[in-house]
Amino acid sequence: MLDAAGRSQAGEALTARGLLPVSLVGSEPPDRSTRAMPWADLALGLRLLANLLLAGLPLDRALAAFAESAPEPWRRVLPGVAERVREGASLGAALSEPGSGVPELIGAVVQAGEAGTGAARAMERAAALAESIAGTRAALRQALTYPAILLVAGLASLGFLVVVVLPRFAALLADLGQSPPATTRLVLFGAELARAGLLPAAFVLAVGGVLWRSWTGSATGRSRWHRLLLDVPLIGPARRALATARAAGAAGSLLESGVTLPRALQHAAAASGDAAVASAILSARDAIVQGEVASRALARETALTPNAIRLVQTGEETGRLGAMFLEAARLEQAGAERMVRSTVQFVEPGFILVFGGLIALVATALLQALYAARPG
């Protein structure tokens, strides 16, 4: 049995051993997502362990010292990692064990680095990659937090007015026998429609959510959905830039560790986080295996952004392909964060105007009805 990311990689490994593969049968990879470690904790742990190794501690002593200061998610997996190392496995192989909580990409970076620059530099490179991914996710969460708060607060305020305030106000007007103004009647009619459609809308959303999850749960559906997202204005360019940053960062880290380009692209596709981009990268990888130039194959498949492909071409011409992939990752990550922040700058005032306008309309309608109901 041979562990490999795919049939093509398995074939390459067997050929390197002087064997001629006749038939390759794949098996489903173990589920690594059930105990996935948060990227921030993963990055911190990798950095701590890298510093211990860079200080010159042997691997077993570094793991023992790391156990005393490791973040909580690491404490669950460290005993198993230390046991595998004592049995003779490399640190990268131990971290790549199913259920370790460490993404396959990080394990591959460590394993590749151990074969070249050593475990300390390999951990340092893996820590830098994890820190980059964790930083991107933190920046996106920070940018989207305030719009999310505005959305929830606005919907809650409107819901309170529609479900609680307006029905009681309508009953009060009915008891007074007053005929409300046209604006008030319009608002009350809208509130009644909203209440009547609340349950059907919730049912439709629930059914739609189940169908959407079922559709995107398949490889074909997920790829089509991600391809649709890439074509959406504002969202698509930012999503493509983020996917490019992840893929280029993974490819660059692996290439700098001594991994071949086809294998690096195999992991880069998985790291992209976008099924459509991953499919394009894998198609380009197949063409590269057949002898096509990397930048040309990536450009034909639109696997990365144009700027990233130009940097890849520069790397091919200068012999610094890994460094140019890393530079592309840095630039695309910064560009994606700028696009997200720019979009949020338009979304925030939009939410304020929409919810503020609706609440002002309701308040105006209520005040008009109160003034109309005053005696003589």
Same domain for 90 and 158? no
Give the single-character DSSP code of 292: -
Q: What is the pLDDT of residues 113-127, one digit of tens each?
A: 777 667 788 888 888
Round to whole Å and give the CA distance between 275 and 280: 9
Same domain for 127 and 184? no
Same domain for 115 and 143? no
What number is the average pLDDT over the span 1-25? 53
Q: Is the pLDDT of residue 283 over 90?
A: yes
CATH of the domain at 63: 1.20.81.30
Same domain for 181 and 290? yes
Instruction: Tell me the pLDDT of the chain averaged across its residues.
Output: 81
Domain boundary among 108, 131, 154: 131
- What is the pLDDT confidence band of residue 17, given thresholds at 50, 70 and 90? low
Please say whether the beta carbons of 45 and 63 come within 8 A.
Answer: no
Nearest to 6 by CA among 316, 292, 243, 289: 289
Round to whole Å and give the CA distance between 121 and 51: 10
More confident residue, 38 or 161: 38
Domain boundary among 131, 154, 189: 131
Same domain for 163 and 262? yes
Q: Is the pLDDT of residue 72 over 80?
A: yes
The backbone region for 26, taken as left when phi is positive above 0, alpha when psi lies in -120 to 50, beta otherwise, is beta
Q: Which domain holds residue 26?
A: 7-131
Q: Is the pLDDT of residue 167 over 90?
A: no
Q: What is the pLDDT of residues 29-52, one digit of tens each?
A: 444 444 678 888 888 888 998 898
Same domain for 108 and 156? no
Of 17-26, 167-176, 232-241, 304-313, the poorest mean pLDDT is in 17-26
Tally of CA atoms within 13 A in the half-sphere of 86 that contains its CB: 10
Same domain for 161 and 221? yes
Domain boundary among 131, 158, 193: 131
Same domain for 54 and 144? no
Please report, rounded to a whole number, the percentage of residues in the chain having pLDDT higher than 90. 14
- Please report whether residue 2 resides in a domain: no
Q: What is the pLDDT of residues 292-324, one digit of tens each?
A: 999 999 999 999 999 999 999 999 999 899 899
- What is the pLDDT confidence band of residue 366, given thresholds at 50, 70 and 90? confident
Give Dmax (Cα) for the chain.
Answer: 103
Nearest to 285 by CA among 311, 263, 306: 263
Please say whether the beta carbons of 269 and 278 come within 8 A.
Answer: yes
What number is the average pLDDT over the span 100-122? 77
Same domain for 158 and 117? no
Please report, rounded to a whole number, the percentage of residues in the chain having pLDDT higher than 70. 88
Round to whole Å and give the CA distance between 31 and 250: 21
Same domain for 47 and 161? no
Q: Is the pLDDT of residue 280 over 90?
A: yes
Q: Is the pLDDT of residue 7 over 60?
A: no
Q: What is the pLDDT of residues 194-207, one digit of tens each?
A: 778 878 888 898 99
Same domain for 63 and 206? no
Give the single-character DSSP code of 19: -
The pLDDT assigned to 364 comes to: 81
The pLDDT assigned to 328 comes to: 92
- Please report whether residue 1 resides in a domain: no
- Please report whether residue 228 resides in a domain: yes
The pLDDT assigned to 29 comes to: 44
- Please report whether residue 236 resides in a domain: yes
What is the total count of domains within the chain? 2
Helix axes 321-373, 235-256, angle to 10 degrees: 150
